[in-house]
Amino acid sequence: MSDLLSDSRPLIGATRPAMTGPDTRDHVNPTTGQVQASVMIGGAAEIDAAARTAVAGQNAWQALGPERRRDCLLRLADLVEADTPRLLQIAARECGTPVSSNSSGLALSWIRYYAGWADKIEGTYSEPFGITGLAYARHEPIGVIGVIIPWNSPLVAISMTAILAMAAGNAVVLKPPTQTPFVALRFGELALEAGIPPGVLNIVPGDAEAGEALIAHPAVGKVSFTGGDIVAKAVMRTAAEHLKPVALELGGKSANLIFADADLDVAATMAATCSLVPLAGQGCVLPTRVYAQAAIFDEFVDRVRAQAQAFTLGDPLDPATVVGPVINEASAQRIIGVIERAKTESGGSLVAGGRRGQGALAAGSFVEPTVFAGVAHDSHLAREEVFGPVLSIVQFDNEADAVAMANDSRFGLGAYVHTRDLSRAHRVAAELEAGCVAVNGMLPMAANQPFGGVKQSGFGREGGRPGLEEFMQIKQVLLHLR
């Protein structure tokens, strides 16, 4: 058992309490296929303790005042930066993220950006109709926020959700999944070290029982959920029973439109790298559904194939590794099943990858970066989120067809356009049904830009002022002047 993965007890306040009759599960290293730790599974009792602790923590957090909350969050960013080598080692072991990806840079930008917002929350003033007086609106924290994050990038997910809630003055009960509890627990320890009052950030690893208890708990004022649309529907059902607001950042099958006038060096590199490399393709906003115009289709496919075949698949602890394993064996088998089905049903041809890891990688949950070309737009491969290193390339004839196919999806998180025509770039961006559109490049997930989806990719925003407002409520005060 690695010392980095030795303690999976919840963090409630400033304590790591012993659990009464805990359910435990083996944690398998996705690189080796070997059991490397035991994960304690929190349930309703742990969620209740964390939520009650969060109420007191929020009062203490609010009492600090905005400038001290800002300083605490800035210290947290410094501690996360200093602890980056350890955090990367944990992530490589618990979910197979290559250390070369260094996701801490993105996380740090979000923490520092929202630390800067902590002392800049302002209300509004107006003169009310019908009376002599004044009115002002206070933008206040909701209280306790329940945050449920996915397993694919826990450090970034915490920084894009829990940190926003804390910057707005709330306390958080964070439920990481049982597959990846260790980065979140270490993050909670760093928050305490930064001087954030105990109870402001509580971490309870758990499964569906813990999630249900968190959503339903009377002390929790709002829930932020990041994950898939099927689980999101269960989240909404429970939240509806308690008339509780939710913010949802869900899945995607992001369309990437490559027009004939595009810079193919940029477009092919972006299509291959940004769909197959990050998190081994396990990302919601990755451009995994490519539409390439007929005039450049063959050349584009050749370029993408060459890049996909050059990616290094290997041990995530090796700095030379570009693509690590997927999260577990079940995911690897599911992805291979999608690939096998696509060989006969997608209408396209397998041009790169398509196999499990070979040789020394055979024991782990490795899937080769895989590309299918000439895929039918209405095929399962082109329409459903694979959540693995699998890219489909569809051919189109004209702009209208490309936009129509891109919009013919139940998802609407991200979309991408490659063209040198500025008018087309603006026109197509306006027509695409997506929460975020990037032209001639990848979405940078910048902290100062609102990020979120439409349709079944969710609602609510992370990033910028809109992200902060997700975790505030407005109180109107009316003062009569006599």
- What would you measure as the largest C-alpha separation in the chain, in angstroms? 84
The amino acid present at 255, given as its one-letter code, is A
| Structure confidence at residue 18 as a pLDDT band (50, 70, 90) | confident
Task: Please check whether residue 433 is in contact with residue 408, taking contact to mean a CB–CB distance below 8 angstroms.
Answer: no
341: left (phi over 0), alpha (psi -120 to 50) or beta: alpha
The rounded distance, in Å, linking the Cα atoms of 392 and 383 is 10
> What whole-number percentage of the chain has pLDDT above 90?
95
Per-residue pLDDT, averaged over 342-367, amounts to 97
* Cβ(115)–Cβ(74) below 8 Å: yes
Tokens 């050059």, located at residue: 310
Determine the pLDDT at residue 16: 94
Nearest of 295, 303, 294 to residue 267 by alpha carbon: 303
**Contact of 115 with 77, CB cutoff 8 Å:** yes
Q: Quickly list H helices, 145-258.
A: 154-167, 182-193, 208-216, 229-241
Per-residue pLDDT at 482 exceeds 90:
no
Per-residue pLDDT, 437: 98
Structure-token pair, residue 37: 């730790």
Parse the chain into domains and list their residue ranges: 3-250+457-477, 255-446
Sign of torsion, CA 391 396 398 403?
negative
Q: Do domains 3-250+457-477 and 255-446 have the same CATH topology?
A: no
Which pLDDT score is estimated for 3? 81
Q: Are strands 171-175 and 201-203 parallel, antiparallel or unpaired?
A: parallel
Distance CA 64, CA 67 (A): 8
Question: What one-character DSSP code corresponds to residue 20?
Answer: S
Residues contacting 146, CB < 8 A, separation 6+: 51, 172, 173, 175, 214, 215, 217, 220, 222, 223, 224
- Interval 199-225 mean pLDDT: 97
Give the tokens for residue 391: 């890219």
Collapsing DSSP to helix, strand or coil, 97 comes out as coil
Q: Is 283 helix (H, G, I), strand (E, B) or coil?
A: coil
- State the pLDDT at residue 129: 92
- DSSP annotation of 431: H
Task: Please report the pLDDT score of residue 22 as a whole number.
Answer: 60
- Ramachandran region of residue 333, left (φ > 0), alpha (ψ -120 to 50) or beta? alpha
**Confidence at residue 126, expressed as pLDDT on a 0 to 100 scale:** 92
Phi, psi of 9 (to 5 degrees): -65, 150
Residue 430 pLDDT exceeds 80:
yes
**Considering the entire predicted model, what is its pTM?**
0.96
pLDDT, one tens digit per residue, over 370-393 is 999 999 999 999 999 999 999 999
pLDDT tens digits for range 96-117: 999 999 889 999 999 999 999 9
Q: For the chain, give the mean pLDDT.
A: 96
Closest among 204, 139, 227, 182 to 3, alpha carbons compared? 182
Catalytic residue ranges: 175, 249, 284, 385
Instruction: Quote the distance between the C-alpha of residue 195 and its chain's center.
Output: 26
- C-beta neighbour count of 105 within 10 angstroms: 11
The CATH number of the structural domain formed by 255-446 is 3.40.309.10
Tokens of 204: 């309870």
- Distance, CA of 462 to CA of 363 (rounded, Å): 38
Choices 3.40.605.10, 3.30.565.10, 3.40.720.10, 3.30.1550.10: CATH for 3-250+457-477: 3.40.605.10
CA distance 218 to 148: 17
pLDDT reading at 20 higher than 90: no
Q: Residues 38-63: what's their mean pLDDT?
A: 96
Give the Cα separation of 144 and 394 in Å (integer): 45
Percent of the chain with pLDDT over 70: 99
| Cα 98 to Cα 89: distance, rounded to the nearest angstrom | 9
For residues 381 and 390, is the Cβ–Cβ distance under 8 A?
yes
Which residue is associated with the tokens 């599911």?
334
pLDDT surpassing 80 at residue 276: yes
Q: Report the pLDDT value the prediction gives residue 407, as an integer from 0 to 100.
A: 98
